[in-house]
Amino acid sequence: MCHYGIKRIIKQYSNAVKVDALNCIDCLLGGHQKLLEADPDGSHFYLSPG
């Protein structure tokens, strides 16, 4: 959850779904803790255009 109030925010929308992801990078990798599979020791630094 990158934003502390994401659960409150998505409750406002009936069609919004929170992705099962550790953070936005994990979400880009497909969620479900794929980030931990790709970088188990957390030694990489990720950048995105966003």
pLDDT digits (tens, 9 = 90+) for 5-45: 888 998 999 998 888 888 888 988 999 999 999 999 999 99
Give me the pLDDT at residue 13, please.
94
Evaluate whether 41 touches 21 at the Cβ level (below 8 Å). no
Q: What domain range is 12 assigned to?
A: 1-50
Query: H-type helices in the chain, by residue range?
Result: 6-10, 24-28, 34-38
Q: Is the pTM of this model over 0.75?
A: no
Total Cβ atoms within 10 A of residue 38: 13
Give me the pLDDT at residue 1, please.
53
Number of domains within the chain = 1
Is pLDDT at 50 greater than 80 in this prediction? no
Give me the pLDDT at residue 2, please.
67
The whole-angstrom separation of Cα 29 and Cα 39 is 11
The whole-angstrom separation of Cα 44 and Cα 28 is 15
